[in-house]
Each structure stands twice: as structure tokens, then as C-alpha cells.
Amino acid sequence: MVLGIPVNPNSPACPMFTPRNNISQYAGGINTISPSRASEINLEDLKHKLEDLDIKLQKIKNMLRELG
């Protein structure tokens, strides 16, 4: 029972759900990071983003110290 409503655990959560017959046709569309794509990553940009996130993390830690 979910919220007082009887539910069949062997059926889909949504009664209108219809599974796809051939999931493999969609598997080719999944984005993966390939070596050629990984080489396009700008390391300087990533380093800058990491530094910005580190500054934000330090600010959050300082605020939590002040609360505690």
C-alpha cells in the first residue's frame, strides 16, 4: 500500500507506462566521453572552475563554523 492505495509491486508505478520493445536502438544515442572528446577539455578552464568552487567551499565552511 502506498498512501492507503493498494499497489501491485510487480506492475509499473504508472498504469499508463508502456515499456519500449527495443531499447538497443536508443543505446547508440548515449553520450560517452571518448579520448578524442576528452582532448577538447580546456584544462585552464577546469582549473579556474575548481579554484572558484574551492573559494565557495571555504566560505560555506566559515559560515558553518560561525553557526556552531
Question: Residues 7, 1: contact at Cβ < 8 Å?
Answer: yes
Cβ-proximal residues to 24 (8 Å cutoff; 6+ apart), any chain = none
The answer to whether position 62 is within a domain reads yes
Question: In sequence order, what are the beta bridge partners of 2?
Answer: 5
The answer to whether position 43 is within a domain reads yes
Question: Residues 28, 34: contact at Cβ < 8 Å?
Answer: no
Task: Tell whether pTM > 0.85.
Answer: no
- Residue 56: pLDDT band with limits 50, 70, 90: very high
* Res 3: pLDDT: 79
In this prediction, residues 55-62 reach a mean pLDDT of 96
Does the pLDDT at position 62 exceed 90?
yes
Mean pLDDT of the chain: 76
In this prediction, residues 30-40 reach a mean pLDDT of 57
Question: For residue 46, what are the domain limits?
Answer: 39-68
Number of domains the chain contains: 1
